[in-house]
Structure formats: structure tokens, C-alpha cells
Amino acid sequence: MVSLIIPVYRPDYEVFKKCLKSLITQSFKEWEAVIALDGPDNAARIIVDGFTDKRLKVVEKAQGGAPAARNEGFKHATGEIVWFWDCDCVIEPDTCMTLVKEFDNKDVAFVYSGYKFLGENGGIPAEPFDPWTLKCGNYISTCFPMRKEAFPGFDESLKAFQDWDLWLTIVERGGKGLFVPGYAFSTKVPDAQSISGRNFQKDTWLDRVAAVKNKHNLPDRKVCVSSQDHKAEGIRLAKLIDADYKDVPNYKPNDYDTIIQVGFSLHPGRIRTFSGIFNQALKKKIIFWTRENIQEIQNTISHKALTSYTSALNHSVVQFVEDLYAKEIMESAGFKVAILPMPLENTGDIAPLPATPKILVDITDDYRQLVACLCHSLPEIQFEHMDENKPINDYNAILSLNTERTMSFNVKRMLLCGKNVISNIQSPFCGYVDVNSEIGKYMSELVDATRKRVNKDTSAAVAYYKNQLSPNKLQEILK
């Protein structure tokens, strides 16, 4: 049984009707709805009675706010799963069926997804569960199910962010969340009269964030990492240097003094988002240019645009690239950059190289035919193309051939994990192959480099890159 608990206070009655209708007509049938009136509301009672569905039951309390109404509704819930719902939310037909079955996993305390706004006004996609990123800010709506025994009660003393406080408390007590991709429901866009709009004004935002942080002993970090295209790398960097992570830090009020962006696109359709992240008073603005950005600058950005962008960025932003080749490209385009590889750490043990040689292939389309020839020339070696789910320790080496010829995240990870590198990147401990030479020559060099590198000892490379990719240099800059 699932108990949906719905606080009601001066709702949009037409949307409230749609809310109840969507619950009644959904595919899942083993549910009840506890409608907690936050003060007398005859109009709401009439709407509920009009459905004549015995699964809808009404309780009433003196007006005291949504958290108090939710807590009161919980007292009357009989289901093993409780689901706090809002009276302006319209559930998708199979949402309850889809999410509730995930509780068959005994390790799950709550399940969540994204949601949309009514009227084709976009939505909030949510993100995979990570207790660390949850401490940086909430990404889970109140309106998702949890085990009844996991519910800690809503903190009625908080004026806002009761949902963030709820999920933090569950996680601190050992509960785990499960993210299900997709959109579970649609809701009204927040306005000045809604709970979201009323409780989250700019002049009170930081104080209300601070109240939750103080309750949960969360650090008040002054550095925030952001990334639009490399979120996983941005989160790794934030954890490494003890910074916050947010996709768009200035989406809401904040008191950061430094923002670091991993990647910065100059594409006309995206530049406003990237540059807008720096639109606040900051002590430092930092960009780590990625090889995709550099390729974009080389191939798609006009000279006129580059003149404008370099003028805007060079005087106010500290800009870093991974290696000398990237620095030469960026300087030729007019950017003032320094070489500082984005810090990275290997948190696991260095595993021995596999006895049966296996190479991970990370190439651009220009080199696919070349790799096909390589596979034919070295049948004793197994080649597998890059996939996010492939464990690094399954491989002896990475074959990285890219037109940009700059260090990638994948190459750095392989080096730190004690794997060999065969590449057209000129960097220490990388088996360099000049693919710009005559085809017969570089094909022979590639076969030779691959054969020699696949089982080469990597201890010196690990020591070198552990030092090179240490966060110490960046942390000195941040002081």
C-alpha cells in the first residue's frame, strides 16, 4: 500500500481537481490519499467528495503551514510507502507503478525522478543520487516516495528548504536514494503566491540556506566548480579541492567568491549561459579549457567573435589549458592562458596489468581506418572502443588518437591508474606517434609503439603524473 499525503491550503481548485483525477486514473491501484487541509476549506472538501472514491480521505488541522499539514497527514497514513504530494501536481499515468517497484531493492530508502511544469514550460530533470552533491544543494523534490520507517518528520521550524532538510536527514541516518530517469509528474510553475515562490525570495534566500547548513553542519564553501559539458569531471574536481559543485551557480543567490568552470563554449547559441555564470562579484574567475573547446575555437568561431571574447576574458578570467600544444593554439587565437592540468586523483589501488593484452580505444572518426589496420596487424591484442561503463583496470593501455592532440580526461585517468598510453599527444610517458608523417611510416611506428607499450612498466609514469595532477598548485592559486 502507498499513502499519498497531500497538504491543501487555498489551492488552484481546477488544478486540484486535475491532481486528484490523475491519481484516481493512474495504472497503480493499491494506494490511499490523505488530504490534509491546512485550515478549513469547504471548497476543497466538495471537490474530494465529488470523486466518491473511498481511497480519498480528508483530515483537517488548524492552519500552520505545509510542513505541519504533511506531518499531520502522515499520522493517518497506513501504507508501507509514504509519498508526500502537492495539490498542484498531476501524476503521469505509470509513475506510481514504475517508482514503487524499485522498493523491491531492500537497500533503497527513497526513489525519485525529474518533473515537468504544466503548460509545456520545461522541467527539472534531477540527477543520479550522490550524498556529496546533495550537501551542495537539493536536487530532489518533496513529491517522491519513501519507506514509512525512513520518514523523519518535516522540521516545522524551518521557513524554507524543508525538502532538502528531509532528504539530508534520511541520508545521514543511512538511507539511500535511487534515481529513475524521466519525469514523474507535472506541476504549476512557481509564482509569488505559491509555497516555492513565497518562501524563496532573493532577500531571504541565503539566510534560509544557512539555516539548513547549520542544522546539518554543512561547510560554507566560498569556491564553486561548474560545468555544462563535463559534470562528472567538475564534481571530481570539486571534491578534490573541497569546493561546492553546481551546474549554474548564479541560478540562485549565493555568496561564492570564486567560480571555476570546467569547459567554456564560445558557440553563439551557448556563450550566454557560460559567460552568465560569471555575472556576479567574484574574487576569482577561472576557466579550464577542454580539448572540445579548443577544437571549437580552431574550427567554428569567427575572427571577429574571437577578438570580442579574448578582450572580455583576458582581463578578468584566469585561464588554464592542459599542455603546451593547447597553449600554442589558444595563444594563436588571442587568449592569455597558462598550462595547469586540471587536478585529478586515483583513489583506488594500482592493479597489475592484465596478462592478456587489452587496449581501450579512444579515437576521433579520422583514425577509424587506421585502428582497423592496427587490429589486423596485432591479432594477439584485444581492442575495445571507449564506453563509460568499462572498468579501467581491465586494460593494459589506452590508444588515444584525436585531431586536437591535447590531453584528455581519459588519458589522465589511465596514466594515474598505471596504464600505458599510445597517442599522437606529445607528453611525458606517452608512446608518441606522429600521424602527420607518411602513412607507411606512421603505421609502422604505431604498430611498434603499441607492441612495446602494452606491457611496459608504469611506476615512473604514475609517480610523475601523481605530482603533476596534484591539486596543490590550484589550491595555491585559490588562496
pLDDT tens track for 207-238 = 999 999 999 999 999 999 999 999 999 999 99
- Tell me: pLDDT of 188 over 90: no
Domain at 221-339, CATH from 3.40.50.300, 3.40.50.2020, 1.20.1070.10, 1.10.10.10: 3.40.50.2020
Over range 156-164, report the average pLDDT: 94
- Tell me: pLDDT of 38 over 70: yes
Question: What is the spatial distance between Cα 427 and Cα 206, in angstroms, rounded to a whole number?
Answer: 45
Question: What is the spatial distance between Cα 413 and Cα 461, in angstroms, rounded to a whole number?
Answer: 12
Please give the pLDDT value at position 161. Answer: 94
Confidence of residue 433 (pLDDT cuts 50, 70, 90): confident
What is the DSSP secondary-structure string of 288-352? E--HHHHHHHHHT--HHHHHHHHHHHHTT-EEEESSHHHHHHHHHTT---EE-PPP----S--PP
Please give the pLDDT value at position 191. Answer: 61
H-type alpha helices, 322-456: 324-332, 368-377, 409-416, 439-453
Question: What is the spatial distance between Cα 200 and Cα 205, in angstroms, rounded to a whole number?
Answer: 6
- Tell me: pLDDT of 198 over 60: no
pLDDT tens track for 46-78 = 999 999 999 999 999 999 999 999 999 999 999
Average of per-residue pLDDT values in the chain: 92
Whether the Cβ atoms of residue 378 and residue 415 lie closer than 8 Å to each other: no
Q: Which residues contact 383 (CB under 8 A, 6 or more apart)?
A: 358, 359, 361, 371, 374, 375, 399
| 48 vs 437 pLDDT, higher one | 48
Question: What is the spatial distance between Cα 223 and Cα 261, in angstroms, rounded to a whole number?
Answer: 11
Over range 358-376, report the average pLDDT: 87
β-pairing, 177-187 vs 110-117, is parallel
Taking the domains of the chain in order of start, what are their residue ranges? 2-214, 221-339, 358-466
Over range 174-202, report the average pLDDT: 77
Percent of the chain with pLDDT over 90: 76
Whole-structure pTM value: 0.88
H-type alpha helices, 398-438: 409-416
Residue 41 corresponds to which cell in the numbers above?
A: 476549506
pLDDT tens track for 311-364 = 999 999 999 999 888 999 999 999 999 999 999 998 888 999 999 999 999 988
CA angle 193, 197, 202 (to 5 degrees): 130
Do 221-339 and 358-466 show the same overall fold?
Answer: yes
Please give the pLDDT value at position 226. Answer: 97
2-214, what's its fold? Answer: Spore Coat Polysaccharide Biosynthesis Protein SpsA; Chain A (3.90.550)
Over range 410-425, report the average pLDDT: 92
Percent of the chain with pLDDT over 70: 97
Q: Which residues contact 318 (CB under 8 A, 6 or more apart)?
A: 284, 285, 286, 287, 338, 477
**CATH 3.40.50 matches 358-466:** yes
